[in-house]
């Protein structure tokens, strides 16, 4: 410790110290961290935190308390490590109506997916290796089930659309079920599979009310998109604004130094705005309190996206005709199809279909009918697909 720095073993003494203006919370989790952050705000202290879980779940309470007390809560390190994505969204793109955000915002899962693709390995094999290398924790649930990414996209969605954080409404699917063969088929069709956090504004339509989609799941994206080339443990957030078009922000999403980079930048921001009128500061959720929106999170069955479907079928004439008839009945049109040549003496094969954009409830209904076909031999594998245009 540097000279003149007091080290105490009880965080409450930091909060009780009237000489301290800013508290940095790097504990993580929802428990003691929440208590300390609220206590610091109560004492009129500004807070800098890297705690995405806390903000995604208790952000509304924390930001409300901070606004009432006239203090800042800065949280650049909460999403994409040292990449200044919060600053870009809240300040740099302030002139834009944000249409959507799609982010690779969990390094562990991106590392696993990159390895599965490049080295043609199964999920379990790569996970074990990631754990050995320190890219995945001993209990990797939080990362591989998509929860960490869901915390981050929840925070980004709130800033993008000026809505409260609503983690409980985020649809979350992880990568544990992902099969190596789907990564391979996707590649043959010109796509890569990434775990994306997606927040997308939807206008009212015949099929769906106004609202926004908030979801984390494995996603096929065209291999030609820049974000498809983001490999290993790196993070990238792609943002579509109405004026600026597509912008992307890329870098290390975790680690002590990238996190410290963001925390120090927040401290400088807080110091800069320290003496300013609270009304002149950047609002926590980018929008002034009176401009916050009650735009609802759409339920997952109202989500609009395209789909990759893999069917294990009997190698018999008429199967594809039956399947495509069911899709046509459901008003789902097909963009591409691929049929694996059955091996010598094999009486089964795989059909892979890419659909155009449709509504989730239609694909769910169609899959139910497809799975009822006698010639369809197992559960249909379904992965969402985004063109990101």
Residue 87 in contact with its own copies, rule: CB under 8 A? yes
Cα 82 from Cα 253, distance rounded (Å): 7
Known active-site residue 120: no
Per CB under 8 A, which of residues 220..239 are in contact with its own copies?
A: 226, 229-230
List the alpha helices (DSSP H) in the chain: 11-16, 32-42, 52-69, 85-87, 107-119, 123-133, 141-144, 147-161, 180-188, 256-272, 319-329, 360-371
For the CB of residue 274, give the shortest distance to its own copies in the complex, in Å. 8
Residue 22 in contact with its own copies, rule: CB under 8 A? no
For the CB of residue 105, give the shortest distance to its own copies in the complex, in Å. 14
Cα 79 from Cα 254, distance rounded (Å): 9
Q: How many residues does the chain have?
A: 389
92 versus 342: smaller Cβ distance to its own copies = 92
Query: Which residue in the set 20, 282, 320, 377 belongs to the binding site for its own copies (CB under 8 A)?
Result: 282
CB atoms within 10 A of CB 86: 23
Query: Which residue in the set 64, 169, 176, 281 belongs to the binding site for its own copies (CB under 8 A)?
Result: 281
Q: Which helix (H) or strand (E) holds 352?
A: strand 348-355
197 token code pair: 């956090």
Query: Which residue in the set 47, 49, 76, 114 belongs to the binding site for its own copies (CB under 8 A)?
Result: 76
Residue 289 in contact with its own copies, rule: CB under 8 A? no
58 versus 117: smaller Cβ distance to its own copies = 117
Residue with tokens 């490049």: 118
Residue 244 in contact with its own copies, rule: CB under 8 A? yes
Cα-Cα end-to-end distance for the chain: 50
Query: Which residue in the set 280, 290, 321, 345 belongs to the binding site for its own copies (CB under 8 A)?
Result: 280
- 45, 152, 194, 252: the catalytic one is 152
Residue with tokens 């993008």: 160
Positions that interact with its own copies (CB under 8 A): 76, 81-84, 87-88, 91-96, 226, 229-230, 241, 243-252, 255, 257-258, 260-265, 268-269, 272-277, 280-282
Catalytically active residues are: 152
């Amino acid at each position: 410790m540097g000279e003149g720095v007091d080290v105490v073993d009880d965080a409450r003494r930091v909060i009780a110290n009237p000489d301290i203006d800013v508290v940095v919370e790097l504990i993580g989790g929802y428990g003691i961290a929440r208590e300390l952050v609220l206590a610091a705000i109560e004492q009129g202290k500004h807070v800098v935190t890297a705690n995405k879980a806390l903000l995604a779940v208790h952000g509304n309470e924390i930001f409300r308390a901070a606004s009432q007390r006239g203090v800042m809560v800065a949280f650049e390190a909460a999403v994409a490590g040292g990449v200044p994505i919060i600053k870009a969204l809240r300040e740099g793109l302030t002139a834009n109506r944000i249409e959507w955000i799609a982010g690779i915002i969990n390094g562990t899962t991106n590392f696993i997916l990159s390895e599965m693709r490049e080295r043609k390995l199964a999920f379990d094999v790569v996970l074990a290796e990631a754990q050995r290398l320190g890219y995945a924790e001993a209990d990797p649930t939080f990362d591989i089930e998509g929860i960490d990414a869901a915390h981050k996209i929840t925070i980004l969605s709130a800033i993008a659309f000026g809505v409260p954080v609503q983690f409980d409404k985020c649809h979350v699917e992880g990568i544990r079920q992902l099969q190596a063969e789907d990564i391979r088929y996707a590649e043959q069709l010109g796509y890569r599979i990434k775990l994306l956090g997606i927040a997308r504004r939807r206008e009212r339509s015949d099929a769906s009310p106004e609202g926004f989609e908030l979801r984390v799941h494995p996603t096929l994206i065209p291999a030609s998109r820049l974000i498809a080339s983001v490999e290993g443990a790196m993070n990238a957030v792609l943002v579509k604004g109405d004026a600026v078009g597509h912008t992307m922000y890329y870098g290390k999403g975790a680690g002590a130094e990238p996190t410290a980079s963001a925390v120090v930048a927040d401290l400088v921001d807080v110091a800069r705005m320290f003496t300013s009128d609270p009304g002149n500061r950047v609002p926590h959720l980018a929008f002034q309190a009176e401009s916050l929106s009650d735009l609802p999170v759409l339920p997952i069955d109202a989500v609009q996206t395209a789909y990759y479907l893999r069917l294990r079928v009997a190698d018999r004439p008429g199967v594809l005709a039956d399947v495509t008839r069911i899709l046509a009945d459901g008003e789902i049109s097909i963009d591409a199809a691929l049929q694996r040549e059955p091996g010598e003496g094999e009486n089964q094969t795989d059909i892979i279909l890419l659909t155009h954009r449709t509504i989730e409830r239609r694909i769910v209904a169609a899959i139910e009918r497809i799975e009822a076909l006698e010639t369809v031999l197992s559960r249909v594998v379904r992965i969402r697909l985004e063109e990101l245009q």
